[in-house]
């Protein structure tokens, strides 16, 4: 049975709504949502949304004590936020990596 993928716009809206609380209460769901977000962002060519998904994955993997993946996703998000000149998210990512 194939699962329907959410439309990218609704997925990105959902990511923004839950990214600051879901990773703590349910990191596995945050990881699943973040991976969907990366896929949708790459297909839609939305680097800011890809970075947000990476940021969520970084924080969720940190909660699960997978520091290697947390760092990898955090650095990926950081590189994108730097290119987008999003200083707020760039700073938040630096704090999360710290």
Region of 85 (left: φ > 0; alpha: ψ -120 to 50; beta: rest) is left
> pTM for this structure?
0.82
Read off the DSSP letter of residue 19. Answer: T
Q: What is the chain's pLDDT, residue by residue, as a tens digit (98 residues)?
A: 444 555 666 777 777 776 667 788 889 989 998 999 999 999 999 999 999 999 999 999 999 999 999 999 999 999 999 998 878 888 889 888 98
Read off the DSSP letter of residue 46. Answer: -
């Amino acid at each position: 049975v194939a699962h329907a993928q959410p439309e990218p716009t609704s997925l990105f809206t959902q990511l923004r709504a839950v990214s600051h609380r879901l990773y703590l209460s349910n990191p596995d769901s945050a990881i699943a949502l973040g991976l969907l977000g990366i896929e949708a962002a790459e297909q839609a060519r939305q680097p800011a949304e890809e970075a947000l998904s990476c940021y969520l994955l970084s924080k969720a993997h940190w909660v699960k004590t997978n520091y290697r993946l947390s760092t990898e996703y955090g650095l990926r998000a950081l590189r994108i936020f730097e290119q987008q000149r999003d200083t707020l998210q760039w700073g938040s990512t630096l704090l999360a990596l710290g």
